[in-house]
Amino acid sequence: MHTRTDLPTQATPGNNSFKRHHSARYYAHRVKESLTTRVSKLICAIFLALLFLTGLIFFILFLSLRPHRPRFHIHDFSIPASAQPTGFENAQINYNVDARNANQAIGIYYDTLEVTVKFEGQNVGGSSILFPFYQEPKNTTVLAGTLSGATLTVTNQSWQKFLDARSRGSVAFELDVTSSIRFKVSSWTSKRHRMHANCPVQVGSDGLILASDKDKRCSVYFS
């Protein structure tokens, strides 16, 4: 009579013990990958948050320190001798313009300012009106003066054109202010910018600025 002896069976890929051994290593690897991914995501999130915060700070500083162009307004312009047929001999032009620095924390350095008056596209006068100066933020400088004598280039012919235009009502002029300017923020100073302020203005038959042009804002551009 033979007695049956069961021999131990070898674990095969299909039995439970192999499955449990494989699953443990698989999940350990998954956990390790998950931790690495989370750490990487956390580092990326911190970096992006710092980048966003830095950009936001620079954007706020840009808005608060962004340099605004100087603002020019013409308050007065007159030609007292406009009613005289031979007024060009004693002609003079009076002007009054405000230059305002509207910036909150930016100053402006001006080189010598020059004013030019044009009639029908031709220069009829001009001169330097100020030595270099520094304008504080939120500050206004009055630019006033008179062009006469050597600062005027009015001829009998140009004066006659002026009288002809005056007889038709108003006479149009252009007053231009030019200067090289630099912006100053704390201890930093920008490079020079060539600034032009163009102020169209009309005078009536009395030689005085028209009410519609009084306190009018001039256009400002750089070249």
pLDDT digits (tens, 9 = 90+) for 7-59: 454 545 545 544 444 566 666 666 666 777 777 888 888 888 888 888 877 76
pLDDT at 18: 46
Residues in the chain: 223
pTM more than 0.85: no
- Domain contains 5: no
Q: How many domains does the chain have?
A: 2
Same domain as 97, residue 82: yes
Same domain as 134, residue 29: no
Same domain as 80, residue 57: no
Q: Tell whether the torsion through CA atoms of 156, 158, 163 and 164 is positive or negative.
A: positive
β strands within 107-156, DSSP E: 107-110, 113-119, 122-130, 133-135, 139-148
Query: Which residue range(s) make up the domain with 40?
Result: 14-66
Same domain as 127, residue 92: yes
What residues of the chain score a pLDDT lower than 70?
A: 1-33, 59-66, 82-89
Same domain as 75, residue 52: no
CB 195 within 8 A of CB 114: no
- Domain contains 1: no
**Two tokens, residue 67:** 């340099």
Same domain as 58, residue 76: no
CB 181 within 8 A of CB 110: yes
Instruction: Give the 3-state secondary structure of residue 100.
Output: strand
